[in-house]
Amino acid sequence: MNTYERIDRDLSDRDFTVVGKSVKRSDTLEKVTGTARYAGDVALPGMLHAKMKRSNIAHARIRSIDTSKALALKGVKAVLTHEDVPRVLHAGSPHPRSASVTKDQYILDDRVRYWGEGVAAVAAVSEEIAERAVALIEVEYEPLPGLFTIEAASVPGAPPIHENGLDRNQVLPPVFVTRGDVDRGFAEADLILEREYDLGRPTPAYMEPNVCVSQWDGNGKLTMWTSTQSAFMVRGTLAEVLGVPLNKVRVIVDHMGGGFGAKQDLFQNEFLCALLARQTGRPVKMEFSRKETFLGGRSRHPGKIWLKQGFTKDGRIVAREARVTFNSGAYGSHGPGVTNVGTAALTSLYRCENVRLEGRCIYTNSPIAGAFRGYGVVQTYYALDLMMDEAAEKLGFDPAEFKLMNAVREGDIAPSGHPIVGHGLGDCIRRVMEETNWHELRRREKPETVKRRGIGIGCEMHGSSAYPGIKEQGNAIVKMNEDGTVTLITGTAGLGTGAHTALSQIVAEELGVPFEAVSVVQGDTDIVPWDIGAFASHTTYLGGRAAQLAAADVRRQVLEHAAPMLKAEPENLAIRDGFVVVTNGSNRSIRLSEAVGPQRGMPAVQLVGVGTYMPTKSYSFAAHFAEVEVDTETGEVAVLQVVPVHEIGRVIHPIAAAGQIEGGIQQGIGHTLSEDYVIDLTDGRSLNPSFVDYKMPLSMDMPSIRTIILETAPDPGGPYGAKGVGEDPIIAIGPAIANAIYDAIGVRFHHYPITPEQVLNALKSKANETRQ
């Protein structure tokens, strides 16, 4: 059984009544009973069903498309090819930081760049007929050379996959980050390690496939139900590409079955669904199969990381040099952002004054890589932490102590340029060591049995919100009803993580009312105020702070209203447990409902508060302990236990935070040991686009997890000091496992996933080496 524990330090003199409590999530019941409405549940009268024709070639020009047989099929209402759709370049992802994404996609192009790319779409009266029509579409291709690897695509003179003015299929000009004098650092080093790390292609594999429903009204307004993390960015992109003003696009997301970053993008389907609905004058639903969710979805960026570090005997890192090369797949998507963030991350975590980093991102004719929990940092910190483990051993340090010695600390400059607040990482490492009896475990005997156990520690840090200088923004409106109950109207998306519960807690805390008194309105761009979307570990941090500000605005109005009734100044009033109370000496109080409620049958005044928050950036930290058992006969690695210690500032909902951590660990175990979406390197064909062949850890594969949450370094910008926890847990688990595998069998892997076959081969090589 998993457990969690929260160390509640004295962050302020304030007693919290709702924040920090694991209140019952308000969406639980509708989710477990199946009444929660997801985009796929939307069924409209007269609705058509759409399907996409996908390429069966990885790189080609389209010579011709014959849709006549499809159109002749009874029940088919419309077919669209590249000849029928607006030719507007878009970013695929509507991310507001243009520097993070790449404008290189058309809705449909006269060229395909990866196996499975959409080339046409059909709307018909049933999904079955649409599928039959798709099969009747005949596409004649003129093949182009397929460039399936970074190596093939980035050789000088490689044929360009996109015409963006850069050579060697670069998505963006190389990213350079330098600090100090790296050459001098290496000159001072007693130990220099140089390794290349090779990272696979995990996918977010969210439960809810991509799906959308489009409907146009008679006034030329599009309503789009879709599964997205950023309804407003979808609105903006649809409006731009379809050529309509923003008030003519309404995006609705009632509930979401996961996104993990990938659902910041648009996936051809939204545009095609909208265009088919406009052409047919009927609502249209387009729902991906699981296979299509693989084909048309987004993966984490595969890549190669060449890392070289110099260390002194006394355990300092004196030089760090890295070349990060990500494989973007057929389109750029978040390649620029991931390359920037992933590369810059190597300036931090473990302190080093002399740093020289290069980041590259390369187009290939393979599935599209995009935003995915960890956003480049999963890859680079995997490399960094593994090398730390190796260096510790070579220098004769305990790896945990060695990481603690070098841990980033208060006042250090974070990758974003902000100074670090507090000593979160050190706190986490120390606590892991205490909690696991680290030193005692390390001294444990290691018998040469078939199944061998090992322990490891991995570390990470990750920022909430975007980079400084970016006007990232969260907004909230809070209405107070005449009985003192409250409605929070928030732009914050709910990916399924309980974000709206956390925001309700914040509003309840701020207004001195019970959690149950707060209702949430969300998920409809016509209604809620603009919000950047749910990603970058910033939902609670950003949306929560906006909600807090809106609630504080209402509180101010309540107190102003109550002041004459209580014959007191507003500044001497507070709301507590549903009462407005005088705080300076007197014990006078009135019910909140009296203060704001009916007077002669009418509300005193409708109280509406507005909150806008533009954050800077805060960093959360974690150290994960993992114990593994390696079966030396089968090569299988079982993770036996994980002790994740996270420092996240003020925790709003402990169980939800622990849930995020457990989920991140599950995904991290996946990409470290089994998950890899692979293509045939001869023709680019996807080889395992299904849950049968793409192996994720199931609940039975999961270890016991003992989560510990620290609140030692609250962020002054977050609500009550809260920071993010969304991405963090997926980052540290990978190196913890890889380091534990080394501890168990003495083999250092420099890649993921580490498969049983590779473990067996490595054990065989090691045995051969030993024998030689």
- Give residues in contact with a second copy (CB under 8 A): 26, 29-30, 33, 35, 95-98, 217-219, 221, 236, 239, 245-248, 469-473, 475, 477, 479, 481-483, 485-487, 489, 516-519, 521, 526-527, 529-530, 532, 598-606, 608, 610, 612, 614
Complete DSSP assignment for 308-377 = EEEE-TTS-EEEEEEEEEEEEETS-TTHHHHHHHHHHGGGSSB--S-EEEEEEEEE-SSPPB---TTTTH
| Smallest separation (angstroms) from a second copy to the CB of 67 | 29
| Smallest separation (angstroms) from a second copy to the CB of 246 | 4
Peptide bond into 753 cis (omega under 30): yes
To 10 degrees, the CA torsion angle through 731, 735, 737, 738? 140
Nearest residue (CB) to a second copy, 190 versus 560: 560
| Smallest separation (angstroms) from a second copy to the CB of 486 | 7
Nearest residue (CB) to a second copy, 115 versus 375: 375
Nearest residue (CB) to a second copy, 164 versus 612: 612
Nearest residue (CB) to a second copy, 529 versus 735: 529
- The percent of the chain in helix, strand and coil, each rounded to the nearest 5, is 30, 25, 40
- What number of other Cβ atoms are within 10 A of residue 683's Cβ? 15
Nearest residue (CB) to a second copy, 197 versus 541: 541
| Smallest separation (angstroms) from a second copy to the CB of 275 | 20
Nearest residue (CB) to a second copy, 73 versus 244: 244
| Smallest separation (angstroms) from a second copy to the CB of 137 | 31
Tell me how far apart the alpha carbons of residues 617 and 651 are, in angstroms, rounded to a whole number: 17
Contacts 24+ apart (CB under 8 A), 8-13: 8/711, 9/710, 9/711, 9/712, 11/650, 11/711, 11/714, 11/720, 11/721, 12/720, 12/721
Going by the DSSP 8-state scheme, the letter that residue 447 receives in this structure is: -
| Smallest separation (angstroms) from a second copy to the CB of 602 | 4
Radius of gyration (C-alpha) of the chain in whole angstroms = 27
| Smallest separation (angstroms) from a second copy to the CB of 606 | 4
Nearest residue (CB) to a second copy, 310 versus 611: 611
| Smallest separation (angstroms) from a second copy to the CB of 370 | 17
Complete DSSP assignment for 589-630 = EEEHHHHHSEETTEES--EEEEEEE----EEEEEEEEEEEEE
Closest CA to 253 of 602, 527, 65: 527
Strand, helix or coil for residue 570: helix
Nearest residue (CB) to a second copy, 276 versus 596: 596
| Smallest separation (angstroms) from a second copy to the CB of 125 | 19
- What number of other Cβ atoms are within 10 A of residue 98's Cβ? 10
Nearest residue (CB) to a second copy, 479 versus 685: 479
| Smallest separation (angstroms) from a second copy to the CB of 230 | 12
Sign of the four-CA dihedral 381, 203, 457, 713: positive
Nearest residue (CB) to a second copy, 354 versus 490: 490
Q: Which residues contact 421 (CB under 8 A, 6 or more apart)?
A: 410, 618, 619, 713, 714, 715, 716
Going by the DSSP 8-state scheme, the letter that residue 686 receives in this structure is: B
| Smallest separation (angstroms) from a second copy to the CB of 520 | 9
262: left (phi over 0), alpha (psi -120 to 50) or beta: alpha
Distances (CA, A) of 574 to 19, 442, 549, 553: 17, 53, 16, 13
The greatest distance separating any two alpha carbons of the chain, rounded to the nearest whole angstrom, comes to: 96
Nearest residue (CB) to a second copy, 3 versus 28: 28
Nearest residue (CB) to a second copy, 477 versus 708: 477
Question: Edge to edge, what strands does the sheet with 303-311 contain?
Answer: 175-179, 355-363, 317-329, 303-311, 191-199, 751-752
| Smallest separation (angstroms) from a second copy to the CB of 519 | 4
